[in-house]
Every structure is written in structure tokens, then in C-alpha cells.
Amino acid sequence: MVLGSAHSVLSRSGSAEACPPRVLDQDVVSSPLAFTPALKRELEPLYERVKHVVTPMEWVHYAPIIKAINELKAERNAVILAHNYMTPEIFHCVGDFRGDSLQLAKEAARVDADVIVQAGVHFMAETSKLLSPDKTVLIPDPLAGCSLASSITPEDVRALRAAYPGVPIVTYVNTSAAVKAECDICCTSSNAVKIVESLGVPRVLLIPDQYLAKYVQTKTKVEIIAWKGACEVHERFTGEEMETMRAAEPGLKIIAHPECPPDVIAASDFTGSTAAMIDWVKTKRPTKVMLVTECSMASNVAAETPDVEFIRPCNLCPHMKRISLENIYEALLYNHYEVTVDPTVAAKARRAVERMVEAST
Ligand code: 13P
Ligand code: SF4
């Protein structure tokens, strides 16, 4: 069963509206250091990590700012949590911890640092703040939202609670802290089935991604009631495209994220979270693979698996792509943009996230 209307999704943009507008400082976004022969030599080990996916010409631009970011991190006792959808120069060269939503949430809870820079989207930064309330959490661009997070409000969740009394509400982590505060427990794409079954009830509400809910329904006997949210990146893929690619590329393996529509998942060889997809490629070493997810992830895996050929259906997430080396540098220099969560909301939302972390360890 899917609740909500397509209009309610389309009428809200993917931005995190509560945040201040971003002000660019032109003096800062230009590289703070020159690409000298000494710098080239010093950063050679970092270039080794990305040389299959970053050209020498691009490296001339990236290297000085990578060095400046890594120096600022040390000065400020800061860490960068980089989601799998970051571009390779961020993911491999300045990210201290890399992973899917669950891995980054767990890292935020245990990391020993004064400052966390979230190289990801706003709901991820809020999750880090919930789990690390005493740390300064920064998001380099406050408009890095998510179409799933903006598809549902706390009022919507209260209405669901009234319509389905006694039915637990599981929220995908791709929601605002205010929505999480109204829910019983969180889940991510890597633990959704486990979380739903951990509740020991015959029926749950699983919000807001209708496609994740449909996927989970194929894996459990628990009845799933869904909301009509969707990821604007994954909902664009179609089963027909998968068949076309298979016909054009003999031997192709297709692996898909569970935010994809059911016909895409049915046409794929494997379905899993971003971390599970990466593990699959690294373990199986297919000759030719197509990752049906955000485009940068293929570059990040390709950097480490040059023996695998990647066929790239390049759907970019406009929110993830707001994060750049330049605004990460500004974030560390100017404390841009601090993420805070109202303490009353935070206490309730934290419970939902902590219950997930407990149930998934
Ligand atoms: P993962 O938890 O699989 O990394 O998914 C996060 C996300 O935003 C996918 O679009
Ligand atoms: Fe949200 Fe989709 Fe972007 Fe992930 S890829 S942040 S689910 S819009």
C-alpha cells in the first residue's frame, strides 16, 4: 500500500529550507597554494589512489586545495565523513571515513574529533549531529538536500500515526531530524529488512521511499505500508533501459540500489546499499558491470578496481554534487555551515537513530 500523493512530492523541492543561504567568498575559492614540483612530489601517494579516474590536468587544480584541506583538518582536529557518492578527489583524497549512510552514522557516533565535516547531504549531517551532539558538525553547502527527505513532514507522520494507531513507524534515514523525532526507529538501505523484522509485529509503516518499501516487501512477510516518496536519481532508471544495456553489452552484470523502481531491481543481478554494491564489485570482480545508482560511485570503485570495466548510466544527484573541494575548504576555514538540531527534537530523533544502530550491530 502506498500513501501520500505524487503532488505532495513534486511540490516540495529537495532543499534543506531551514538553512541560511550560501555566500561564496571568491578570494577563498581560488586555490590557496600553487602546484609546485615539491607539492606534486608530496601528493604523489594521493594521486596514485585516483590516477585511473582523475587526469593529470585535473590534478594540477585539485592538489593544492587537497593539501590545504588536509592541513586545516589537522589544525582543527576535524574529520571528513565522505559518502560513497562524493567525487573521487573528495572521496579518496580528503575523506577520512568513507561509506554508506549506516557506516557514516556509526562513525559519527564514535569518532574522536572536535569537528565533523559532512561530505554528503543535509540529513546525513543532522544524523551526525544527533549522534555527536558535542561536536561541531559542518555541511559545506546547506542546500544539499534530498528529494526523499523533502517528501514528508512531521505533520504527515503525525497524520499517519493517527490513521494507523499501534502500527510502528520505521523511517528511512533519508529524512529530516524533525521527521525522525516522530518515528519509532530508523533504517538505512543496508539494514531495512532486519529493522522491520526486529520489531516483531505483523505490520509496519516504512517511510518515505515507496521503492525501498516495495523492495523490502519482497524480502519479508511483515506487511509494509509505504509513503509515496522517491529518490529523484534512482526513480529515473527503467527496466527497459536495463534490458537495452544487457543486449548491447554481452556479459554485463547489473547491480542496483533498492531506491530503484521494481522493474529495475527485477532486471538486476544484485541489489544492495551503496556499500553492499561496492563490496559486490570488489569481491566478484565482474569483467563488465553497470552500477545503477549515482554516477560518482562508479568512479570511486573504478579507482580501486582498474581490471573491471564500468558501463555508466550517469545519473548525478544534484544535492550531493553541491559539495566540492572548494566549499569543504571554506567550511573548515569559516565554520560554514554549522548544523544544529533543536534539543527537544534531537532527543526524540536520537532515540530512533540509536535504536537502529543497536538493532544493526
Ligand atoms: P546508502 O545508505 O545506500 O549509501 O544510500 C544513501 C542514499 O542517499 C542513496 O541514494
Ligand atoms: Fe537523496 Fe537520491 Fe540524492 Fe540519495 S541520491 S541524496 S536519496 S536525492
Q: What is the CATH number of the domain that holds 73?
A: 3.40.50.10800
Name the closest-CA residue to atom 6, ligand 2.
Answer: 146
Q: Does residue 116 fall inside a structural domain?
A: yes
Q: Are residues 116 and 178 in the same domain?
A: no
Cβ(262)–Cβ(237) below 8 Å: no
Q: Are residues 225 and 298 in the same domain?
A: no
Name the closest-CA residue to atom 1, ligand 2.
Answer: 146
Q: Are residues 141 and 161 in the same domain?
A: no
The closest-lying atom of ligand 1 relative to the alpha carbon of residue 148 is 8
Name the closest-CA residue to atom 2, ligand 1.
Answer: 101
CB of 259 shorter than 6 A to ligand 1: yes
Report DSSP state, residue 265: H
Q: Are residues 174 and 259 in the same domain?
A: no
Q: Does residue 72 fall inside a structural domain?
A: yes
CB of 156 shorter than 6 A to ligand 1: no
The closest-lying atom of ligand 2 relative to the alpha carbon of residue 317 is 3
Q: Are residues 157 and 250 in the same domain?
A: no
Q: Are residues 247 and 261 in the same domain?
A: yes
Q: For position 3, what pLDDT does the model report?
A: 57
Q: How far is the CA of 170 from the centre of ligand 2 (A)?
A: 18
Q: How far is the CA of 34 from the centre of ligand 1 (A)?
A: 36
C-alpha cell at 327: 566549499
Range of the domain at 39: 31-145+319-334
The closest-lying atom of ligand 1 relative to the alpha carbon of residue 120 is 8
Q: Does residue 15 fall inside a structural domain?
A: no
CB of 298 shorter than 6 A to ligand 1: no
Q: Does residue 84 fall inside a structural domain?
A: yes
Instruction: For the chain, give the mean pLDDT.
Output: 92
CA pair distance 64, 29, nearest whole angstrom: 12
Q: Are residues 42 and 102 in the same domain?
A: yes
Q: For position 1, what pLDDT does the model report?
A: 55
Q: Number of structural domains, the chain?
A: 3
Q: Are residues 166 and 137 in the same domain?
A: no
The closest-lying atom of ligand 2 relative to the alpha carbon of residue 319 is 3
DSSP-based three-state secondary structure for 200: coil
Q: How far is the CA of 101 from the centre of ligand 1 (A)?
A: 6
Q: Does residue 23 fall inside a structural domain?
A: no
pLDDT digits (tens, 9 = 90+) for 166-189: 999 999 999 999 999 999 999 999
pLDDT digits (tens, 9 = 90+) for 226-265: 999 999 999 999 999 999 999 999 999 999 999 999 999 9
Cβ(152)–Cβ(179) below 8 Å: yes
Query: pTM for the full model?
Result: 0.90
> Most distant CA pair in the chain: distance in Å?
67
Q: Does residue 16 fall inside a structural domain?
A: no
Q: What percent of the chain has pLDDT over 90?
A: 88
Name the closest-CA residue to atom 4, ligand 1.
Answer: 100
CB of 103 shorter than 6 A to ligand 1: no
Q: Does residue 102 fall inside a structural domain?
A: yes
Pocket of ligand 2 (CB under 6 A): 121, 146-148, 174, 231-233, 259, 294, 317, 319-320
Cβ(269)–Cβ(255) below 8 Å: yes
pLDDT digits (tens, 9 = 90+) for 185-231: 999 999 999 999 999 999 999 999 999 999 999 999 999 999 999 99
Q: Are residues 135 and 226 in the same domain?
A: no
Q: Are residues 227 and 240 in the same domain?
A: no
The closest-lying atom of ligand 1 relative to the alpha carbon of residue 102 is 2
Q: For position 22, what pLDDT does the model report?
A: 41
Q: Nearest Cα to 171, choosing from 205, 144, 138, 199?
A: 205
The closest-lying atom of ligand 2 relative to the alpha carbon of residue 146 is 1
Whether the pLDDT of residue 104 is over 70: the answer is: yes
Q: Are residues 66 and 137 in the same domain?
A: yes
Q: Which ligand has an atom closest to residue 173 CA?
A: 1
DSSP for 215-262? HHHTT-SSEEEEE-B--TTGGG--HHHHHHHHHHSTT-EEEE-TTS-H
Q: Are residues 247 and 214 in the same domain?
A: no
Q: Does residue 359 fall inside a structural domain?
A: no
Q: How far is the CA of 315 from the centre of ligand 1 (A)?
A: 14
